[in-house]
C-alpha cells in the first residue's frame, strides 16, 4: 500500500463508496424512479405579484407598480428620480415607452451593424428592457435576448437597469419558468442588483453588472385592485 497521503478527491469518493455500502441505492431502472415530487405550483396573479415584489425588495431591487395606462409616466418618473439622462434600449423595445421621458435614447441594432460598443454603453446612464418571464419564488427576472430585451451586453455594462415585467409573465417557480423558455436561446437570470461578498461577508454591489435594478410591475386594474 502506498504511504502517500490521500487527496481530497480520494477522501470524497471513499466516503461516497462507504455511504453506498451502508445504504445501497435501490436497484431500479431509470424509468421506474418515482417522480411524484412537486413540479408545478398554482397561485393567483395577486399572490404572484406580491411574492415577486417581496423577493425583489429583499434583494435590494427597487420596485414600482403601475397599470398599462400609466406605464409611460411610471417609466419617466423612474428615470427622472434616478437622474438618468441617457439610456440604451434594445432594437425591439416599444418606442412609445419612453415618449416624453426627456432622456436621450440610444437604440442597439447589432443586426443592422449599428450595435452599441462597450465604451458607448459605459457612457450611458442606464438601460431599459422588457423581460421574458419572472419567477416569483426566487425574485428572478429572466431575459432571453428577444428583440425587446436585446443582447446580454446591454444589461451588463450600464450601471442602472430598468426592467418592465407584466403580471402575466410572472410564474411561481423556476421549473415553470424553464418550461416557457427556449433552451437554445441565450438566457440571463437576474436576481437583484449585481453583488458579491468579500471574505468578511461585506456586500459589494456593481461587480458584474448594474448596481441598481429597478423593476416596474405592470398589472391591470383588476389584478392590482387599483
Looking up residue 81, the CATH number of its domain turns out to be 3.40.50.10420
Identify the residue whose cell numbers are 383588476. 222
As a whole number of Å, the end-to-end CA separation of the chain is 75
Res. 223 pLDDT band, cuts 50 70 90: low
Dihedral of CA 190/141/145/175: which sign? positive
Q: How is 154-183 classified by DSSP, letter by letter?
A: GGTSSSEEEEEEEGGGEESSHHHHHHHS-T
Say if 7 falls within a structural domain. no
Q: How far is CA 100 from CA 82, 83, 156, in A?
A: 16, 15, 26
**Which residues span the domain enclosing 93?**
43-218
| Cα 210–Cα 211–Cα 217 angle in degrees, nearest 5 | 75
Q: What is the pLDDT of residues 164-207, one digit of tens each?
A: 999 999 999 999 999 999 999 999 999 988 777 777 777 777 77
> Rounded CA gap, 69 and 57, in Å?
24
Say if 208 falls within a structural domain. yes
Q: What is the pLDDT of residues 116-147, one digit of tens each?
A: 999 999 999 999 999 999 999 999 999 999 99
Q: What is the pLDDT of residues 68-104, one digit of tens each?
A: 999 999 999 999 999 999 999 999 999 999 998 999 9
> Rounded CA gap, 219 and 202, in Å?
36
Average pLDDT for the chain: 90
Say if 122 falls within a structural domain. yes
Say if 79 falls within a structural domain. yes
pLDDT of 224 over the 50 cut: no
Say if 53 falls within a structural domain. yes
Can you name the residues that pair with 102 across neighbouring β-strands? none
| The three three-digit cell numbers of residue 54, written as one number | 417581496
Q: What is the pLDDT of residues 14-32, one digit of tens each?
A: 999 998 888 877 777 888 8
Q: How far is CA 169 from CA 85, 97, 142, 143, in A?
A: 29, 18, 10, 11
pLDDT of 210 over the 50 cut: yes
Say if 154 falls within a structural domain. yes
| Predicted local confidence at residue 86, as pLDDT | 97
Q: Do the Cβ atoms of 104 and 85 come closer than 8 Å?
A: yes
Q: Do the Cβ atoms of 86 and 124 come closer than 8 Å?
A: yes
| Predicted local confidence at residue 140, as pLDDT | 96
* pTM of the complete model: 0.81
| Predicted local confidence at residue 53, as pLDDT | 97
**How many residues comprise the chain?**
226
Say if 114 falls within a structural domain. yes
| Predicted local confidence at residue 5, as pLDDT | 74
Count how many domains the chain has: 1
> Rounded CA gap, 150 and 185, in Å?
12
Say if 35 falls within a structural domain. no
Q: Do the Cβ atoms of 57 and 199 come closer than 8 Å?
A: no
pLDDT of 225 over the 50 cut: no
Q: Which of 142, 139, 144 is nearest to 48 (CA)?
A: 139
pLDDT of 1 over the 70 cut: no
pLDDT of 61 over the 80 cut: yes
| The three three-digit cell numbers of residue 71, written as one number | 406605464
| Predicted local confidence at residue 226, as pLDDT | 39
Q: What is the pLDDT of residues 23-57, one digit of tens each?
A: 877 777 888 888 787 778 889 999 999 999 999 99
> Rounded CA gap, 165 and 210, in Å?
18
| The three three-digit cell numbers of residue 36, written as one number | 411524484
Amino acid at each position: 500500500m502506498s504511504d502517500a497521503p490521500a487527496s481530497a478527491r480520494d477522501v470524497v469518493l471513499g466516503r461516497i463508496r462507504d455511504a453506498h455500502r451502508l445504504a445501497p441505492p435501490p436497484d431500479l431502472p431509470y424509468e421506474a424512479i418515482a417522480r411524484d415530487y412537486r413540479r408545478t405550483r398554482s397561485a393567483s396573479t395577486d399572490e404572484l405579484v406580491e411574492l415577486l415584489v417581496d423577493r425583489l425588495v429583499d434583494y435590494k431591487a427597487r420596485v414600482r407598480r403601475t397599470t398599462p395606462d400609466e406605464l409611460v409616466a411610471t417609466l419617466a418618473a423612474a428615470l427622472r428620480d434616478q437622474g438618468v439622462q441617457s439610456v440604451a434600449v434594445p432594437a425591439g423595445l416599444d418606442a412609445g415607452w419612453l415618449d416624453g421621458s426627456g432622456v436621450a435614447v440610444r437604440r442597439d441594432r447589432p443586426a443592422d451593424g449599428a450595435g452599441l460598443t462597450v465604451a458607448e454603453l459605459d457612457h450611458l446612464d442606464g438601460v431599459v428592457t422588457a423581460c421574458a418571464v419572472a419567477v416569483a419564488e426566487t425574485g428572478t427576472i429572466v431575459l432571453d435576448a428577444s428583440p425587446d430585451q436585446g443582447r446580454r451586453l446591454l444589461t451588463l455594462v450600464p450601471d442602472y437597469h430598468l426592467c418592465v415585467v407584466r403580471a402575466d409573465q410572472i410564474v411561481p417557480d423556476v421549473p415553470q419558468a424553464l418550461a416557457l423558455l427556449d433552451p437554445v436561446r441565450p438566457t440571463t437570470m437576474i436576481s437583484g442588483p449585481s453583488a458579491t461578498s468579500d471574505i468578511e461577508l461585506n456586500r459589494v454591489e456593481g461587480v458584474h453588472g448594474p448596481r441598481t435594478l429597478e423593476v416596474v410591475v405592470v398589472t391591470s386594474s383588476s389584478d392590482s385592485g387599483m
